[in-house]
Structure 1
Amino acid sequence: MANTFLGWGKWSLLVAGVLGFFICAGMMIIGRRNRSQTAVDGAAGVPWVLAGLALTSLAAGIAGVALS
């Protein structure tokens, strides 16, 4: 039961991370013309998405080891 919950959580957060990359890319594309602050905000979001994905994979690995 716990492994199923961890699996669902890991995959849902992975999908959210991919959506986050798409949102950041969209902001950078939209901000290219006359909205430079939007492009900057999109570029600044990329490290946060990467950090969230890294934290997700680390937490899933640790929780998986702790439960087995």
Structure 2
Amino acid sequence: MESAGNMFIGWMKWILIVAGVGGLLICGIMMAVGRRNRSAFAADGAAGIPWVLAGLTCGAVAAVVVGTVIPD
């Protein structure tokens, strides 16, 4: 059961990293596209960056908490 749990947590970590990078790229694209005559689109992209970073931070904190509560 331990190996299955470790594999599941590993997959979730990589999904979080890929989704975070994708989210930051999407926010950057929105800001670049919205630069001309679509200021609301650019503002939405800029407003999304803190949310993506908050999600990545929660994932990093979760890994530390789980590592502390359940030592190897």
| TM-score, length of structure 1 as denominator length | 0.91
The code of the aligned residue for 2:34 comes to: G
Which one scores higher on RCO, CA 8 angstroms, separation ≥ 6? Answer: 1
Q: Report the identity percentage.
A: 56
Q: Does 1:32 align with 2:45?
A: no
- Matched with 2:65 is 62
Q: Computing the radius of gyration over CA atoms, which structure comes out larger, 1 or 2? A: 2
Gaps of 5+ in 2: none
**1:15-67 CA deviation, whole Å, 9 max, x = no partner?**
00000000000000010000000000000000000000000111122223333
Q: Give the number of equivalent residue pairs.
A: 68
Q: Does 1:2 align with 2:5?
A: yes
Q: Any idea what SS the aligned residue of 2:36 has?
A: coil
| TM-score, length of structure 2 as denominator length | 0.86
Output the CA distance in 2 between the equivalents of 1:66 and 1:28.
Answer: 40
